[in-house]
């Protein structure tokens, strides 16, 4: 089993280093090794999860193509520029809201340069709002009803009579409180901007120009607004159907499952957006949201398939060796989720790869929900695209990777938000 585990980890690490679809295809290689070399029977690929994510990404991509994301960025810019002194608190709330609505953290790219500029103009150290803003865009993944990670968790816990509302009533307040605490902690990070030596050096060398960030103009205001309204309406319907099973259509005495509900609603929304706003379907497939989302689908395809095959083939040995420890100290499972998310660079892939083990070990489903924010650990190594983007957008040089790699601008807010989020989640499951 340990040799099999080594091969699984090697596939994950190599796949993460390749990037893009690398994680997914290396997961496929892992399945091949487990099947043909070690003789494990491959499990069924996570088809429902993949189709749900593809449907959500189709709708989000259509909204982006129709100008919906640009419209939201315009609103965010107005809020930030109206209250520049509170940028460290408002910036993470903006990126959190964006991710919550769209189901992907990649939507934060468009607002990061605005955050950096508002902070610099207000003489607030840009590292403070940028660091926690990036973390907030990650934390919101585990609170969004349409994110790949939440959809994957809902699918895994469906057999325990867990509804979408059961997940959201824990994760939304937990992650939101974690982000707010992280924002307040960020307000004291580093020296004030005017006293920062790197900022002073760049200022003296004339490296800081007066270039103003221009948010893309929206050609079709009506279409952009309509796309956002339609997307939000679909999200609300998904929450309602997921929280109130009696609303779902019934066939042969069985309610229609949430995977089918999500797929139908999101594909329908994508179609209505494209038709109502006269947006090209090809344009929807070319946006950053669609590209990032489809990479997530491939990642889940390979990694989840590999993880399921490994766990299913070694379930007896796994449960007998670690069941006692994890049962006595369930927080150890949260650490396992955090570590694996660092390796996998994907909350959804982490959920599908590791959460089945928690289910197999007999951990309380509500406990698994409380530990869910632990899958947001990929800020730990500062090479994720949103992290790199934030560093590049800060022309003052305050947002950076430290000499020792791990002492970077995102470590403190990331750890604070994650630890507080899990702590609040553990308290909430005692209440509910």
Residue bearing the bigger pLDDT, 184 or 151 = 184
Residue bearing the bigger pLDDT, 423 or 70 = 423
pLDDT score of 428:
95
Q: CB under 8 Å, gap of 24 or more: what pairs does 6-12 form?
A: 7/33, 7/34, 8/34, 8/306, 8/307, 8/310, 9/343, 11/306, 12/303, 12/343, 12/344
pLDDT score of 326:
76
pLDDT score of 89:
96
SS3 251: strand
Q: Say if residue 105's pLDDT is above 70.
A: yes
Residue from 176, 101, 175, 88 nearest 132 by CA: 88
pLDDT score of 389:
85
Q: What is the pTM of this model?
A: 0.85
* CB 128, CB 187: distance < 8 Å: yes
Average pLDDT, the chain: 88
pLDDT score of 361:
83
Q: Say if residue 142's pLDDT is above 90.
A: yes
Q: Look up residue 15 and give its two tokens.
A: 């796949």
- What would you measure as the largest C-alpha separation in the chain, in angstroms? 75
What does the DSSP 8-state code read for residue 395?
T
Q: Report, as an integer, the average pLDDT of 201-215.
A: 74
Tens digits of residue pLDDT in 408-425? 899 999 999 999 999 999
pLDDT score of 270:
96
Tens digits of residue pLDDT in 330-378? 888 999 899 888 877 788 888 888 888 888 888 899 999 999 999 999 8
What's the CA gap between 386 and 391, in Å, rounded? 9
What's the CA gap between 422 and 308, in Å, rounded? 25
Cβ contacts of residue 21 below 8 Å, gap of 6+? 295, 298, 299
Residue from 387, 379, 381, 378 nearest 404 by CA: 381
* Residue 321: C-alpha distances to residues 4, 38, 45, 218, 286 (Å): 16, 20, 26, 58, 47
Q: Provide the pLDDT confidence category of residue 204 given band limits of 50, 70 and 90.
A: confident
* Residue 9: C-alpha distances to residues 191, 307, 339 (Å): 40, 10, 12
Q: Say if residue 323's pLDDT is above 70.
A: no
Q: Say if residue 63's pLDDT is above 90.
A: yes
Residue from 128, 82, 356, 101 nearest 227 by CA: 101
**Domain extent listing, the chain:** 2-431
Q: Look up residue 70 and give its two tokens.
A: 């640009």
Q: Which helix (H) or strand (E) holds 255?
A: strand 254-255
């Amino acid at each position: 089993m340990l040799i099999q585990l080594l091969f699984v980890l090697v596939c994950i690490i190599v796949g993460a280093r390749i990037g893009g679809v690398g994680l997914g295809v290396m997961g496929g290689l892992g399945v091949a090794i487990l099947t043909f070399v070690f003789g494990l029977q491959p499990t069924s690929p996570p088809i429902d999860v993949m189709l749900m994510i593809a449907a959500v990404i189709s709708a989000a991509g259509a909204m982006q193509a129709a100008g919906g994301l640009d419209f939201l960025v315009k609103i965010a810019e107005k809020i930030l520029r109206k209250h520049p002194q509170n940028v460290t608190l408002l910036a993470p709330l903006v990126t959190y809201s964006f991710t919550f609505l769209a189901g992907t953290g990649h939507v934060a790219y468009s607002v990061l340069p605005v955050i950096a500029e508002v902070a610099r103009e207000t003489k607030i150290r840009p590292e403070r709002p940028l660091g926690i803003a990036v973390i907030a865009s990650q934390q919101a993944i585990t609170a969004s009803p349409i994110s790949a990670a939440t959809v994957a968790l809902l699918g895994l816990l469906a057999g325990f009579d867990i509804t979408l509302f059961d997940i959201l009533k824990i994760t939304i307040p937990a992650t939101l409180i974690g982000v707010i605490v992280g924002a307040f902690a960020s307000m004291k990070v580093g020296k004030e901007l005017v006293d920062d030596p790197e900022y002073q050096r760049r200022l003296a060398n004339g490296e800081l120009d007066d270039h103003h960030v221009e948010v893309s103009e929206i050609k079709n205001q009506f279409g952009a607004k309509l796309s956002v309204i339609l997307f939000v309406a679909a999200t609300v319907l998904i929450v309602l159907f997921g929280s109130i099973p009696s609303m779902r259509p019934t066939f042969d005495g069985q309610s229609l499952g949430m995977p089918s509900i999500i797929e139908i609603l999101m594909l329908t929304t994508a179609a209505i957006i494209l038709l109502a706003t006269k947006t090209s379907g090809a344009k929807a497939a070319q946006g950053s949201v669609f590209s990032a989302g489809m990479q997530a689908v491939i990642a889940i395809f390979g990694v989840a398939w590999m993880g399921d095959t490994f766990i299913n083939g070694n379930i007896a040995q796994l449960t007998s060796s670690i069941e006692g420890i994890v049962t006595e100290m369930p927080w150890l499972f949260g650490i396992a989720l955090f570590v694996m998310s660092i390796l996998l660079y994907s909350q959804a892939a982490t959920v599908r790869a590791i959460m089945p083990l928690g289910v197999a070990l007999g951990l309380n489903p509500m406990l698994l929900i409380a530990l869910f924010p632990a899958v947001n650990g990929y800020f730990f190594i500062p090479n994720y695209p949103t992290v790199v983007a934030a560093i590049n957008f800060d022309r003052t040089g305050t947002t950076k990777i430290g000499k020792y790699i791990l002492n970077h601008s995102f470590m403190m807010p990331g750890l604070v938000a994650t630890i507080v989020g899990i702590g609040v989640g553990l308290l909430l499951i005692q209440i509910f």
